[in-house]
A and B are shown apart, each in its own frame.
Chain A
Amino acid sequence: MRVEPAASVSRREGWARRVPLLPAFIYVFLVTQIPFVLTIYYSFFSWNLLKPGSFRFSGLDNYSTLFTDEMVRTAVLNTVVLTVAVIGISVVLGLGVAVILNSDVFGKGLMRTLMIAPFLIMPTAGALIWKHTLLNPLYGLLPYLLNPIGLGRVDWIGRFPMVTVVGVEVWRWTPFMMLIILAGLQSQNPEILEAARVDGANALQSFRRITLPLVRPFIELGALLGSLFVVQTYDSIYMLTYGGPGEDTTNVPFLLYLVAFQGYSIGKASAIGVVAVILTIIVATFALRTFFTIFQVEARR
C-alpha cells in the first residue's frame, strides 16, 4: 500500500481525491445508466414509432411475446452458435499460429505484422471484400480457385450463410487470439523448456505439460474478451447476409435492430434489450471475476 488507508484520510482530503474521478464517472454514469433505465421503462409499453399516440402501458406483454416468439428463439440460438464457433475456432487457430511465431522461424516480425492485419481492417470493409471480390460465385476469386476440386460456382453466402459469417469472423478474431497467446508464450522462461528437453521430454510432452498450463490464463483472457465482443457482432451480419436468408443469421443485436428500426416496435425492442442485458450481466460477471482473479488486477491494491 503506497498511501495511508482511506479510513484515516480526512474528509476534505477524501473529496480532494474523489474530485478528479467525478467528471469521468458522472459522464459514463449518465450516458449508460439513463438509457438503461429508459429501456426498462419502454419495455412495459406498447409503442409503434410510426403511429403517433400509440404509446400505451402494456405490462408484461412484450416479455410474454418474447418467450413465445420463434424469431427471438432463433436469434438467441444463432448468437450462441456464432459466439461459440468463432471463439472456439479462433482460439485453436490463434494458438497454432502463436506457437509457430514463438519458435525459431524465418521472418517472425513480418509474419506477425501481416497476421494482425485482418483484425485492424475495418470490419465493414473486410466483410464487403469477402462478399463481393472473394466469394461472389461469378466474379469472386475463391469459386474460381476451388473450381478444379468441384467447389466452383458455389454461392457460399446463399447456401451456407452461417458458415460464411463464422468464417469471416474467425478470419478477424484469430489474429486477436494469436496476439494474446503469443504474449503468454513469450513470458515463458526458455530455460525450463531446455531443462525438460534435457530430461528427455519430447516437443509434444513439454508443450502439453509446460507450455499449455502456462498460457492457459492468456487463452482464457482472450476467449473472455473475445466473446464479449463477438456476442455483439453486427457489422459483418449487416454487410454479408443482413440477417438472412430468412432468420438464418439473425443474432440478438441484429434482431433488436430489425425490431426497432424496421418494425418500429419500441416496446418490444426494449424488452429484447433488457433480456440481452440480463444475459450479458450473467456472462460478464463470471467473465470479469475470472479476469480479476486470473490477473489479480486488484488483489494487492
Chain B
Amino acid sequence: MITSLSANRSKILLSIVGWLVVFVFFFPVLWMWLESLKTEPQAASSPPTIFFLPTLSTFQEVLSGDFPPFFINSAIASITSTFLVLVLGLPAAYALAIRPVKRTQDVLFFFISTRFLPFAASLVPLYLLARDLQLLDNILALILIYTTINLPLGVWLLRSFLLEIPPDLFEAARVDGAAFRHEILRIVVPLIAPGLAATSLICLIFSWNEFFFAVNFTSSVAATAPIFLVGFISGRGLFYAKLAAAATLSSLPVLLAGWIAQRQLIRGLTLGAVK
C-alpha cells in the first residue's frame, strides 16, 4: 500500500517535471502559431499580447501574396530530388545488400563519407559550374544538389531495410527465372515499403529545410521557402504576424511528415542503425 502510494507520487512528480521540460521546448513552436493568428499590431505590441481573438487574416494575406511560388519551388525541388534518390538508390542498395559486390564496404564508406564532407567546400566550384551552365537561379541546380546530398543516405537506409528480407524470397524468384527488373518491382518494392517511406521522409526533411545552397544559388525565379523568410531578417517594419504565418506554412510539410512517421524518423536519422 505504502509503496504504491509513493510510486504514484513519484509518477505524478516525474510527469510534472517532464511536461514542464516539454512545454519549454515546444513553446517557441506554439508561440509561432499564436503570433501567426494575430493581427500585425497585436503581434508587435509591447508588452506582448497574450490574450487575443485569433484571426486567419494574416494567413490569407501571405497565401494571396508572393509566398506561394517559393513554397511551390520547395515542393518541386524536394519531391523531384527525393524521387531521383529512390530511383537511383534502390538498385544501388539492392546491389550492396542482396548481391554483394567486391569491396562492398569500401563503396558504402565512400557514399557516406560524401554526405559528411563540408558542403562549404564544394560551394565555390559548384557555383562556378552552375554559373557556366546557366543553372543559377534554376530549380534544376537545387534538384541535382539535393539528390547528391540525399543519395548516400538513401543507399544506406534502403540497404538496411533490404538486409531484413529473407534471402529465400530472392532465390525463389531467381529459380522462377524472374528478370532483375521484375525482381526489384515485384518482390523488393512491396517488401520495403517502410524503407521507402523512411528514405523519403529523411530526403524530404533535408531538402525541404536546406538553406545553404538555396540562398547562394537562387535569387528570385527558383527561390525556395527559406529564401522567402530571409526577407524578414532585419525585422524592420515589424511584420511579425506575417513572419510567423510564413514560418508556420514553411515548416508545415516536414512537421506533419515527421509527426506521422515518427518510427521511420529515428531509423532514418541514424542511417538505419537504430530500429
A residues with a Cβ closer than 8 A to B are 2-3, 6, 14, 16-21, 23-25, 27-29, 31-32, 34-36, 38-39, 42, 96-97, 100-101, 103-107, 111-126, 128-134, 136, 138-141, 144, 171, 174-176, 179-180, 183-184, 218, 221, 225, 228, 231-232, 234-235, 238-239, 242, 252-253, 256-257, 260-261, 266, 269-270, 272-274, 276-277, 280-281, 284, 287-288, 291, 294-295, 297-298, 301
B111 on the A face (CB < 8 A) = yes
Q: How far is the CA of A243 from the CA of B225 in the complex (A)?
A: 22
* Nearest-CB residue, chain A, relative to B47: A144
What per-residue 1/0 map shows which CB atoms of B201-243 lie under 8 Å from chain A? 0000100110110011000000001100110110100101001
Cross-chain pairs A/B with CB under 8 angstroms, 29 sampled = A18-B95, A19-B95, A25-B107, A25-B111, A35-B129, A39-B121, A104-B14, A106-B19, A107-B15, A111-B22, A115-B26, A116-B265, A117-B25, A117-B26, A118-B26, A121-B29, A122-B226, A125-B251, A129-B32, A176-B269, A180-B274, A221-B273, A235-B211, A253-B118, A266-B124, A270-B125, A281-B113, A281-B117, A301-B163
User: Known interface pairs A25-B92, A106-B15, A238-B215. Does A252 touch B120 (Cβ–Cβ under 8 Å)?
Assistant: yes
Q: List B151-205 residues whose CB lies under 8 Å from chain A.
A: 151-152, 155, 163, 167, 180, 205
What are the residues of chain A within 8 A of B269 when measuring CB–CB? Answer: 176, 179-180, 225
What are the residues of chain B within 8 A of A140 when measuring CB–CB? Answer: 48
B56 on the A face (CB < 8 A) = no
B5 on the A face (CB < 8 A) = no
What are the residues of chain B within 8 A of A274 when measuring CB–CB? Answer: 121
* Nearest-CB residue, chain A, relative to B160: A297
B139 on the A face (CB < 8 A) = no
What are the residues of chain B within 8 A of A297 when measuring CB–CB? Answer: 108, 273
Contact partner of B126 (CB less than 8 A), chosen from A35, A106, A174, is A35
Q: Is B21 a contact of A96 with CB atoms below 8 Å?
A: yes
Q: Is A139 a contact of B48 with CB atoms below 8 Å?
A: yes
Q: How far is the CA of A149 from the CA of B111 in the complex (A)?
A: 52
Besides A235-B212, A238-B230, A288-B112, 4 other A-B contacts (C-beta < 8 A)? A24-B91, A122-B254, A133-B32, A176-B269
Q: Is A120 a contact of B270 with CB atoms below 8 Å?
A: no
User: Known interface pairs A24-B88, A35-B125. Does A132 touch B243 (Cβ–Cβ under 8 Å)?
Assistant: yes
Q: Is B47 a contact of A171 with CB atoms below 8 Å?
A: no
What are the residues of chain A within 8 A of B60 when measuring CB–CB? Answer: none
* Nearest-CB residue, chain B, relative to A26: B88
What are the residues of chain B within 8 A of A132 when measuring CB–CB? Answer: 232, 235, 240, 243
User: Known interface pairs A133-B32, A180-B269, A291-B273. Does A28 touch B25 (Cβ–Cβ under 8 Å)?
Assistant: no
CB distance from A196 to the nearest CB of B (A): 17
Q: Is A180 a contact of B105 with CB atoms below 8 Å?
A: no
B residues with a Cβ closer than 8 A to A are 11-12, 14-15, 17-19, 21-22, 25-26, 28-29, 31-32, 35, 43-48, 88-89, 91-92, 94-96, 98-102, 104-105, 107-114, 116-129, 144-145, 147-148, 151-152, 155, 163, 167, 180, 205, 208-209, 211-212, 215-216, 225-226, 229-230, 232-233, 235, 238, 240, 243-244, 246-248, 250-251, 254-255, 258-259, 262, 265-266, 269-271, 273-275
CB distance from A204 to the nearest CB of B (A): 13
What are the residues of chain B within 8 A of A2 when measuring CB–CB? Answer: 98, 167
* Nearest-CB residue, chain B, relative to A132: B235
Q: Is B28 a contact of A130 with CB atoms below 8 Å?
A: yes
Q: How far is the CA of A112 from the CA of B250 in the complex (A)?
A: 22
Q: Is B25 a contact of A115 with CB atoms below 8 Å?
A: yes
CB distance from A240 to the nearest CB of B (A): 9
Q: Is A122 a contact of B251 with CB atoms below 8 Å?
A: yes
User: Known interface pairs A14-B101, A239-B233. Does A134 touch B31 (Cβ–Cβ under 8 Å)?
Assistant: yes
What are the residues of chain B within 8 A of A35 when measuring CB–CB? Answer: 121-122, 125-126, 129
Contact partner of A125 (CB less than 8 A), chosen from B113, B125, B226, is B226
CB distance from B52 to the nearest CB of A (A): 14
Contact partner of B151 (CB less than 8 A), chosen from A28, A96, A239, A287, is A28
Contact partner of B117 (CB less than 8 A), chosen from A121, A239, A277, A291, is A277
Q: Is B32 a contact of A125 with CB atoms below 8 Å?
A: yes
Q: Is A138 a contact of B99 with CB atoms below 8 Å?
A: no
What are the residues of chain A within 8 A of B47 when measuring CB–CB? Answer: 144
CB distance from A125 to the nearest CB of B (A): 4
Q: How far is the CA of A138 from the CA of B222 in the complex (A)?
A: 35
What are the residues of chain A within 8 A of B113 when measuring CB–CB? Answer: 281, 284, 288
* Nearest-CB residue, chain A, relative to B259: A113
Contact partner of B121 (CB less than 8 A), chosen from A14, A29, A36, is A36
Q: Is B48 a contact of A277 with CB atoms below 8 Å?
A: no
Contact partner of A139 (CB less than 8 A), chosen from B28, B101, B238, is B238
Q: Is A124 a contact of B230 with CB atoms below 8 Å?
A: yes
